[in-house]
Chains A and B, each alone.
Chain A
């Protein structure tokens, strides 16, 4: 079975919109995805029929809201094949999920019984050069707080190399050593489209006893994600790129680790007993969900997951593989266009960054917008990638379940037109 794109498009009301008098061509799903009607309906239904706070009200609405919120947790757990539902923590977004791990680790240095997570001078935290800022800055801050050293795996950016746009393989064994305490890396790069070798990186990190954190923000919406098969200790992703609402993200963690980690944020619902002389904490996942959570958004995310599961993530991945196979050679064939990222559709997602000779990316994006085509321009919150490639910024087209080959044709034609105007 493959994806019926025309049927999918009918489920997304925003795709019927016009921009500047022409039909919208939305090629910015890596930034945020559009939402199917069922997600919008679920949000409206929650607020109009079931709204109440969770886990504390004994009345009917409170019980309904709690059931819906916890059912969303079950849906996420099944979607990523978590070992148990208690491994799923709702956060605000991927950034908060990654910060949660980084802060819980530094809190461990003063928390009784959490010695195993302590890091300090002489220890190292490793990321990759192709991370989004949200998987760089929390770790730089952790290193500042603890005195640990921040290191990274470099990108091969040489234009003619067969591994251009991928991590330098030989660096993996050089950078990840006995001193590494945490390896946090992106599954699929938002700036390059590269899909990293998760098994190899996780196996290497485990062999030196490091904790592993996988940023799956750009992979969860596009590939079947099996946290048991990939086996990192923590996985972060966000709801709004997964056809769900903004304001909800997910951290999936190994239960034994979550149960031993100190809290990140303190507040309501994350406690066991509070006494003015001391507090004990709830078991995971609630230990890490302080205060009233994003209830409607989590329920909306559950609806998005149901929608994706009905399409089948294998079908989603196959559809997007076809799109990237279609788009890469056509874009690369435009004279003056340089693809920033892997040039071949192998271990690569349907996110394509490029530059156009003689035209600034902001002009490319602004002009494409005038043709109704929405793309992103800038450093994509992954500035080190642009620095490595020696470009100030790139233009990025990113695809999703509703993207068609006709839209890619419109993009290629649009880029041709932009070039004409500037030469």
Chain B
């Protein structure tokens, strides 16, 4: 009883599930979001702090749910922390495309370099029911940085006032 080669449960995914990165909510943050995936009952609460230069200075999360959602959130955290928001959102777009590829994605070497461990989720794209699990943390990050950005804009307006 061995796993088929095309299994969605790659070793990398299980490693992240067992040893999640950036788990825990930072005390200082600019935005907090809570996202839920009703299919599996997955939940994630995510906080971000965006530095003045527009990079994601800190990101942490708490969550419960299936291995795909928890591992994907862990991988995402490691990838985007320290990156400019713009690059994090571009990466989110790439990951979304990969998840919507229904197993037909043709990844270039550049893609693989950019997505790093997130490439391991390619197999999930063949299972439409589980795509939402893999996207949960990424969508939460996208909302959180958007919220942090709005707050910045508001503060800027007040300052300029």
**Which residue numbers of A lie inside 8 Å of B, CB to CB?**
20-21, 359-360, 362-363, 366-367, 370-371, 392-393, 413-414, 417, 421-422
Contacts and interface: CB of A to CB of B under 8 A. Distances in A.
A363 B1 contact: no
Contacts of A363: 9, 66-68
B130 A366 contact: yes
Nearest to B43: A392
In the A-B complex, list the 7 residue pairs whose CB atoms are closest, starting with the nearest: A360-B66, A392-B41, A362-B66, A362-B40, A20-B4, A363-B67, A363-B66
A290 to B, nearest CB: 34
A38 to B, nearest CB: 33
Contact of B9 (A20, A367, A413): A367
Interface string B1-36: 101100111000010011000000000000000000
Interface of B: 1, 3-4, 7-9, 14, 17-18, 39-41, 64-68, 127, 130, 133
Contacts of B9: 363, 366-367, 370, 421
A393 B8 contact: no
7 contacts: A360-B65, A362-B66, A362-B133, A363-B9, A366-B127, A392-B40, A393-B41
Nearest to B68: A363
Contacts of B67: 359-360, 363, 422
A370 B130 CA distance: 14
A302 B133 CA distance: 42
A360 B40 contact: yes
Task: Give the most central of B3, B14, B66, B130: most A CB within 10 Å.
Answer: B66
A73 to B, nearest CB: 38
A253 to B, nearest CB: 36
Given A363-B66, A393-B40, A21 B1 contact: no
Given A360-B67, A362-B40, A421-B9, A371 B17 contact: no
A370 B4 CA distance: 7
A422 B14 CA distance: 7
Contact of A422 (B3, B17, B127, B133): B17
Contacts of A421: 9, 14
B66 A422 contact: no
Contacts of B4: 20-21, 370
A362 B130 contact: yes
Contacts of A392: 40-41, 64
B1 A413 contact: yes
Contacts of B39: 362
A367 to B, nearest CB: 6
A413 B1 CA distance: 9
A392 B40 CA distance: 8
Nearest to A423: B18
B8 A366 contact: yes
Contacts of B133: 362
Given A360-B65, A393-B40, A421-B9, 20 more contacts: A359-B67, A362-B40, A362-B66, A362-B130, A362-B133, A363-B9, A363-B67, A363-B68, A366-B8, A366-B127, A367-B3, A370-B4, A371-B1, A392-B40, A393-B41, A414-B1, A417-B1, A421-B14, A422-B14, A422-B67
